[in-house]
Amino acid sequence: MKSSLIVFTCFVAGLLIGFISQVDFQILNDLSMWLLYLLMFIVGISIGADRRLTEMIRKTNMRDILYPIVTIVGTLILTLSITPFLNQLSVGDCLAINSACGYYSLSSILLPELSTSTTLISAVEIGSIALLSNVLREILSLSCMPTITKRFGPRSAISSAGVTSVDVCLPAIARCCGEKYVAPAILHGTIIDISVPWLIAVFTSI
């Protein structure tokens, strides 16, 4: 929760600075691209350096592998169901935004760079929407974790967390769902983590 509030505060601060100052947009665009390269490099290191990865792979069953796929498909189906009500966003934009599954740091940088949107909303605005919607998913998952676990079960709680089941939401999952769900939650978040850049790239090309 704290990290989400920090991200939101930074976003608002940047919004205010951008509004009151004259910043060269091209410089910001180039900087965001280099930040994207750095972020992808860090993601690769974090996954490769995780010593739990070997043990998770050894203990993995087919259900654990399929569950993140179910999370992604469920997210995309829900997105398609509300897309008709979002007139200013194309289907591809909506799918790209929500395919991040809570990965706000990557989606907010990657979407403006890859978006080929021809709608009334600019690529930068799409990146801002991705940031806010994915931060909101994390906040709601954290705050509603006990209720989701009680009403729908531990797997649903893990699914609601999306990619954050591997880090931010992991302590809440351990507390609400039990320690035996920690390894499936880490694997769930890791698979989605790897999938997000490819999903965003595919949907922004639609």
Mean pLDDT to the nearest integer, 147-160? 93
Rounded Cα gap, residues 94 and 87, in angstroms: 11
pLDDT at residue 180 tops 60 = yes
Residue 33's pLDDT is what? 65
110 in Cβ contact with 104 (< 8 Å): no
Mean pLDDT of all residues belonging to the chain: 82
E strand spans, the chain = none
CB within 8 Å of 130: residues ≥ 6 apart: 96, 97, 100, 104, 107, 108, 111
Task: Look up the pTM and report it.
Answer: 0.74
Mean pLDDT to the nearest integer, 131-147? 88
Output the CA angle 161-74-156, nearest 5 degrees.
40
pLDDT at residue 26 tops 70 = no
Residue 101's pLDDT is what? 93
* pLDDT band (50, 70, 90) for residue 198: very high
Per-residue model confidence as pLDDT tens digits over 115-127: 766 555 677 788 8
Report the percentage of the chain scoring pLDDT > 70.
78
